[in-house]
Structure 1
Amino acid sequence: MRKWSRAMRSQGKTVGLVPTMGYLHEGHLSLIKESHNRTNLTVVSIYVNPGQFSPSEDLSTYPSDFHGDLLKLKSLPQRVDVVFHPYNLYDYNNNNNNNNKSVVIGNAIRKGENETVSSCVEETEAGHETWVRVERLEKGMCGKSRPVFFRGVATVVAKLFNIVEPDVAVFGKKDYQQLRVIQRMVRDLDFSIEVIGSEIMRDSDGLALSSRNVHLKPEEREKALSISRSLFWAKSAAQKGQINCKELRELVIKEINGAGGRIDYVEVVNQESLEAVDKINSPVVICVAVRFGTVRLIDNMEINV
């Protein structure tokens, strides 16, 4: 992969990277279109990263359809030049008896006074020990309930950047905190890569596109529409002059609770620092994480007033 990328760049061509975990939908395809608009060549990576899942999370049930993904990519009017589909980015070939099992590995993060949590990776006995941390931006929102998540995301993205060596990388804004974590990592570690945030893609009824939506039962999916509905209401209220963030949060919480959602968080934060704000006097984003049934959904709404 690296050899191909360097050969293309030596010819003066620019390379775009769209990192995905597969089970592609229209949201992913919009990221590919954005890459095409900005670069000569596009690489799509498909890799379900075990480093961002804890043992209690849904790594084993994360949806996968590699053959279907390839068919979708082949049908695009914009050509995808390379599909990078590594088997295991944490396998360093120190053990020939790789049995592809999930284990709890080192560099545990302390969650409470006497409790530690680790990520789940497929590995050999040597183990993976090096992790990238974006210490402040990873702490809030999803970082509270998923304490290994952003460490795993930053590390695997750094790996992909080092392997593919892109000029541009495109991420979706649906994973807003993830986007800001990656942008900060790129700035702080001097990666020569432009990180683009692409707008959220939604179904016609407003539900943000997500690979996990396939696990929603019909009645759960209907109830999940309360997420986008409440976010649009909150944005409309802000545009009409409601700048009290407590009131906006309560509007969103009331609608989602009324639909039976189990809220992980609803936060109104500064778009750059991700710090919670009390009143809107600069661009903010309302970020939401909710469970309907067993499915955890995230969504957000930027407000620029």
Structure 2
Amino acid sequence: MEKVYDSSDYSACDALDAWAATTADAVMPTLFRLVGTDTFHGCLQTSALGAVQVSVMAYHSFHCVRTAKLIRRADPECFQLAFMRSGRHVLEQSGNRTALRAGEMAVFDSSRPFETWADGESLLVQVPHTLLGLPVSRVYSLVSRPLPAAAGMGRLLGDFLVGVEREGTARTEQDALRLATVCLDLVTAVLAHHLERESEVPAGSRRRVLFLRVTAYIQRRLGDPGLSVESVAAAHHISARSLHRLFQQHGMSVGAWIRSQRMEHCRRELADPWRRHEPVAAIAARWGLLRPADFTRAFRTRYGVTPSDYREQQTHARAADARPVPEAGDAPGT
């Protein structure tokens, strides 16, 4: 992500004003005052996915107000979903006041006045009203209510946003637009779930979100040797045939995707120097591959080398990288 503000770049007397100016441009104009401290500490990173923006914020004890006057001056006409990571957060909007804890999220609207009291860290996704797959008037009923973010659809959206955060800015414009579509689908699905309006989500969005739910489910259970097409389909209340069709729309089969994910996890652990003394068979078993001979054959087919030889290659490569490079003019043996 792109760092757009760091309080350490400013003097103590300028830090809060600089934060207000930066967030006005990056998010929306609001008024700030410090609470219980004379010095502001904060950091802001942003990542644009087309018209969707993801921001990571860390801040220290402030009271924030968005007034009707500020809304008239500049309004991005967006819903914000804030995921609370740490600290204390109180949000008040449209007559609702809620105290949020880490592991919860809340929706608020840039087009209506609000107040917040905040100290800690949050992850924020900003979505234009017009791009949501739900009527805006329905979403208002969720404003300033604590919503779970550690399980279900909230967790799925949170994991996606963390992935965007970790990825940084290494993406093309087309990648950003594809990620924006995924993000919009997930935000719409989360809001529809809490509104009990899942049937109103466009069919294309429902299919894309189902695929994300299924792949996240599989990832969490790759170590289960009993993981199968039938068990995955049953967990999502669809037929095995529907599951196959869902994966075919993404150009792959269910079984092949499961095998590829298991093999990739094994490959990473074989390259991990902290696991160099762990038996190859134990690594394979951890990822649901219980037959060593079958694993060796599949690994060689996929990567062109046996698991043991791959581990040896990685060990030699690390040793070569660690070897000091002779300076120009040094003679061998001197």
Q: TM-score, normalised by structure 1?
A: 0.28
More helix by share: 2
Q: TM-score, normalised by structure 2?
A: 0.27
Greater relative CO (CA pairs within 8 A, separation 6+): 1
Give the number of the structure whose alpha-carbon radius of gyration is greater.
2
